[in-house]
Amino acid sequence: MRKTLNPFTLLYLTLALLGANCAGPQGSKLVLQGDQQMAVGNYSSAADQYRKVLVQDANDPPRLRLAMALIRSGRHTEALAELAKVKQDLHQSLYLKALCCVALNDVAQAEQFIEQALQEKPDDSRTLALLGRVKFLQKEYARSAEAYQNAVANSANDTVRTTLHYNLAMAQLLAGRFKQADDTFRLYLIKQKFITKEDNRLAGAIAYAAGDRERAFRHWKTLTSKEQQKILNALDDQPTQAAEVAMNNG
């Protein structure tokens, strides 16, 4: 799947909610410096600042910040080790553990952490979106669609909702819910400022699967005849294969 919900879309809001109540002014200054490094994408530097904070204050907020910096650096095993030291394992730490497990291809463990996190916050859109991703990876497309649908319903961020509509449409299509997938993907296209060749390729595959062949070929007008035929061959074999063929040619 090309587009998946970036788990850190709400990163800076999360950092603010964690608070900067570290040990004294120096600790607060280090947290601020770490946050600034995170904001510009210097995740390793941010991790260094948060480690310095932990020398003074080994509490959960700076450790969660450190875990997020390590995750953004691609150091998921290190992040899990830090998260194991969290004193109060609540929603945020469970969510970050699930992110690490997905990245490390431990999908079963990720699902367990997600279930625990949803017990803390049943309507959290980020966690529901991550559940949708896990179920998609497990090829449980109907359950993936359900999770993404719940994530859409609970997200107030329009940019996030646009990406969620993309993911939801893919899950619906692969679950064989062609009309739902078509309606959902059209919502996604409405919100896009720039429609890519891949967007049109997928939109055509979904429209064709939903029975609207005329609109499908309108979306495919920029594709070569060879590209069109490859998608059509997949559709003839099994309609849901069109999504996989279209995505793999992006």
Residue 226 lies in a domain: no
Does residue 16 sit within a domain?
Answer: yes
In a domain, 211, yes or no: no
In the numeric block, the tokens 């979106």 are attached to 129
Structure tokens at 51: 């480690």
Residue with tokens 């992006």: 250
Quick one: pLDDT at residue 212? 94
Q: Cα angle at 26 between 7 and 94, to 5 degrees?
A: 25
Q: What is the CATH number of the domain that holds 58?
A: 1.25.40.10
What string of pLDDT tens digits covers the 250 residues of the chain? 455 544 444 444 454 445 544 455 566 888 888 889 888 999 999 999 999 999 888 888 899 999 999 999 999 999 999 999 999 889 999 999 999 999 999 999 999 999 999 999 999 999 999 999 999 999 999 999 999 999 999 999 999 999 999 999 999 999 999 999 999 999 999 998 889 988 998 999 899 989 999 999 999 998 888 888 888 887 765 655 555 554 554 4
pLDDT of residue 10: 45
Q: Where are the beta strands (DSSP E) in 42-173?
A: none
Its domain, for residue 12, covers 7-122
The pLDDT, as a whole number, for residue 14 is 52
Place of tokens 């035929």: 229
State the pTM of this model: 0.83
Q: Cα separation of 209 and 238, whole Å?
A: 9
The pLDDT score that the predictor gives to residue 151 is 97
Domain-embedded: residue 140: no
Q: Are 53 and 31 in contact (CB under 8 A)?
A: yes
- On whether residue 85 sits in a domain, the answer given is yes
What pLDDT was estimated at residue 25?
53
- C-alpha–C-alpha distance, residues 207 and 210, integer Å: 5
Q: Is residue 219 part of a domain?
A: no
Domain count for the chain? 1
Structural domain contains residue 247: no
How much is the pLDDT for 88? 87
- Asked if residue 77 belongs to a domain, the reply is yes
**Count of CB atoms situated within 10 Å of the CB of 245:** 19
